[in-house]
Amino acid sequence: MSDTLISIRGLEKAFGEQAVLRGIDMDVHRGETLAILGGSGTGKSVLVKHLVGLLDADAGSITMDEGEVVGLGGKHLYAHRRRFGYLFQGAALFDSLDVGENVGLGLKENTSKSDDEINAIVAEKLALVGLEGIEDKRVAELSGGMKKRVGLARAIAMEPEVIIYDEPTTGLDPVTSAVIGELILSMKKSLAITSLVVTHDIPLVKRVADRAVLLHEGKLIFQGTVAELFASEHPRVRAFVTGTVPVSNGEAQ
């Protein structure tokens, strides 16, 4: 569990005058499920987008298996991205394609597999997320929870080493959120995969995460195990975990 897969040092990012990440130092261990926590607009999604090269860092470094990620381009960047599966907040399914085409698109475009082989993998991945036989459905016909699950099937189709879940339960009802939580656990069990869960859903963190980090105003104010997170005396951490309003002197109400 202590084997470091991704190491982030001094990561900074600003959009215009607004500094979003102000020196992030953290590690992701191989095989763990790491929750990346923080309020809305604190830069959680910005942080994980740097891992797959969707955003360029202003300063700092990200290494994965000793290889530098910041500044990667061309073929090297695309090869790096194939190590990741990414479940977007809104699922980001391609609405011009049906479910089967969505799940199989990465395989079709990046491998020399035949249509039959791709169809078999698509069926297998859809079964893993509990959605057998919906290959021919249009994206518009799916509910919010189904979209997330199809997005997850697409993310695991190319058998990545790391899955990034960007706000996987946002906008879902509690039952569907619980189903997504179970899926994250079963992905970890069945695929032995490293998972990064960007969220502010505390029950989800309790259920799925091994460790957690908490972002506040562009900096990490907590890194540790989930048990340590809930035992933390830091006023901001306590306020976030218990859902209370922090007062100006740093104490939670």
Partner 1 sequence: MTPLRSTGIYLGRQVIALLEDVGALARLQGQVFRFTPQLFRSSRLFMEQMLEIGNRSLPLVFVVSIFSGAVTAVQASYQFQAWVPLVLLGSTVFRSVVIELGPVLTALVVGGRVSAAIAAEIGTMKVTEQVDALETLSIHPVRYLVLPRFWAGVIMLPVITVIADILAIMGAYVVALLTIPNMTSHLFLEGIRLQFYAHDVFSGLLKAVFFGAIMTMTGAVFGLRAQGGAEGVGQATMKAVVASCLLILVLDYFLATVLFQVIFE
Task: Tell me which residue of 35, 69, 41 sits closest to 217, measured CA to CA.
Answer: 41
Q: Choose which of 14, 54, 192, 231 interacts with partner 1 (CB under 8 A).
A: 54
Candidates 23-31, 35-43, 102-110, 141-149; binding stretch for partner 1 (CB under 8 A): 102-110
Nearer to partner 1, 19 or 97 (CB): 97
DSSP code per residue over 147-187 = HHHHHHHHHHTT--SEEEEESTTTT--HHHHHHHHHHHHHH
Q: Nearest 5°: phi and psi at 177?
A: -60, -40
User: Of 172 and 237, which has the nearer Cβ to partner 1?
Assistant: 172
Please state, in angstroms and rounded to a whole number, the distance separating the CA atoms of residues 213 and 223: 4
Measured from the CB atom, the residue of 115 and 116 that comes closer to partner 1 is 115
Judged by CB, which is closer to partner 1: 22, or 113? 113
Which of 34/48 has CB closer to partner 1? 48
> Do 151 and 92 contact (CB within 8 A), yes or no?
yes
Place of tokens 């963190």: 205
245 DSSP 8-state letter: P
Exposed (0-12), middle (13-18) or buried (19+): which is 187, by Cβ within 10 Å?
buried
**CA 226 to centroid of chain Cα atoms:** 17
Counting contacts by CB under 8 A, is residue 106 touching partner 1? Answer: yes
Taking the complex as a whole, the smallest distance from the CB of residue 88 to partner 1 amounts, in Å, to 5
Q: Which of 38, 42, 84, 241: binder of partner 1 (CB under 8 A)?
A: 84
Tell the smallest beta-carbon distance from residue 51 to partner 1 (Å).
Answer: 10
247 contacts partner 1 (rule: CB under 8 A): no
Closer CB to partner 1, 54 or 227, in the complex = 54
β-partners of residue 164 are 86, 196
- Per CB under 8 A, the list member of 5, 59, 70, 92 interacting with partner 1 is 92
CB of 134 to partner 1, least distance (A): 19
**H/E stretch holding 219:** strand 219-225
Map the footprint of partner 1 across residues 146-165, applying CB under 8 A.
154, 158
Q: What residues make contact with partner 1 under the rule CB under 8 A?
A: 49, 52-54, 78-79, 81-82, 84-86, 88-90, 92-96, 105-106, 109-110, 154, 158
